[in-house]
Amino acid sequence: MARPKIALIGAGQIGGTLAHLAAMKELGDVVLFDIAEGTPQGKALDIAQSGPSEGFDAVMKGANDYADIAGADVCIVTAGVPRKPGMSRDDLLGINLKVMKSVGEGIKQHAPNAFVICITNPLDAMVWALREFSGLPHEKVVGMAGVLDSARFRHFLSLEFGVSMRDVTAFVLGGHGDTMVPLTRYSTVGGIPLPDLVKMGWTTQEKLDAIVQRTRDGGAEIVGLLKTGSAFYAPATSAIEMAEAYLKDQKRVLPCAAYVKGAYGLDGLYVGVPTVIGAGGIERVIDITLDKDEQAMFDKSVDAVKGLVTACKGIDGTLA
């Protein structure tokens, strides 16, 4: 059977890391696409030359023509401009909306059967716009945010408790950014919910609140340190986890920016929710009952996403 084809739209920091990870995990052959001439070709060649030492079989190709993504099984989109220090994800809106238009049209024409994972920020609005421009089924277009946000939460929690990150689970909802909603009662260490760990004296509510805030600010903390760009190792790893779930029909339960219609009382909006990813794409949105405080935080997050979508419609009349 032919290897799956993975198209990476955007060959910058995240795109290059995605290509390297996809190759090392032998998820398929990789096409790196970018408008910058030479960059995708150079990265593809460099990664291909790591193959003999690493021992993977994958064809790596760089491209500046959408025709080269033809028939892709998975497209991961990072094309656009990343945040600079002091910029919010929302500042990126106008610039990256134009990019989503060209990417959406390219995917529509050349890879209409792909599972599409969007990483470009501001995430919840960009994945919505990409779906609109591409016209693909909603269950085949998804945004990567929750896997990364929960990975950050798990990392900070593992440091606080002095336990393996593997034994920490985390549950986050809502938009990607300042309004994200980490749900502590569904986040656990070895199955023990965080509020119980507070009662057991493993940590304090104040420390937990600080960890939640650090998780919300997780991207900005890295932007502040790097100064010339935003995070790329963990974002790429998170998207590869989602791509693998689709390609191998793993039925993974992963938090993603998915199209929600009906669940959570929403009438058609991309927002972070727990999902099941398998060969059908987003096969299920897991609808949980929120308590009063959680619902208030979720509503605030949903309003922020709706505001961005409205702003997109104001910028590009074809989306209205």
232 binds ligand APR (CB under 6 A): yes
* Triad 274, 6, 174: Cα angle to 5°: 20
Binding mask 251-290 for ligand APR (x = CB under 6 A): ----------------------------------------
| Closest alpha carbon to 26 in 220, 248, 307 | 248
**Would residue 20 show up in a list of annotated catalytic residues for this protein?**
no
Residues 6+ apart with CB under 8 A from 143: 117, 118, 119, 123, 124, 126, 127, 176, 256, 257, 258, 270, 272
Both tokens of 134, joined, read: 């591409």
Q: Is 152 annotated as a binding residue?
A: yes
| Residue corresponding to tokens 């727990």 | 274
Q: Is 34 annotated as a binding residue?
A: yes
Size of the site for ligand APR (CB under 6 A): 27
41 binds ligand APR (CB under 6 A): no
Site for ligand APR in 48-107 (CB under 6 A): 78-80, 82-83, 96, 99, 102-103
Judged by CB, which is closer to ligand APR: 96, or 184? Answer: 96
With 0-12 / 13-18 / 19 or more C-beta atoms within 10 angstroms meaning exposed / middle / buried, residue 166 is: exposed
Question: Could you say which of 20, 110, 155, 176 is catalytic?
Answer: 176
State how far the Cα of 24 lies from the Cα of 192, in Å rounded to an integer: 34
Q: In angstroms, what is the minimal distance from the CB of 219 to ligand APR? A: 8
State how far the Cα of 153 lies from the Cα of 172, in Å rounded to an integer: 9
15 binds ligand APR (CB under 6 A): yes
Helices 292-315 and 93-110 meet at what angle, rounded to 10? 80
Both tokens of 180, joined, read: 């994200």
State how far the Cα of 110 lies from the Cα of 42, in Å rounded to an integer: 23
Q: In angstroms, what is the minimal distance from the CB of 111 to ligand APR? A: 14
User: E strand or H helix at 192, and its extent?
Assistant: strand 192-193
35 binds ligand APR (CB under 6 A): yes
Judged by CB, which is closer to ligand APR: 23, or 79? Answer: 79
Q: In angstroms, what is the minimal distance from the CB of 77 to ligand APR? A: 8
Looking at 5-13, 107-115, 209-217, 271-279, which segment touches ligand APR (CB under 6 A)? 5-13
C-beta nearest to ligand APR: residue: 12
Which residues form the catalytic set?
176
Q: Rule CB under 6 A: which residues touch ligand APR?
A: 9-15, 34-36, 39, 78-80, 82-83, 96, 99, 102-103, 119-121, 229-230, 232, 235
Binding residues for NAD(+): 10-15, 34, 96, 119-121
Binding residues: 10-15, 34, 83, 89, 96, 119-121, 152
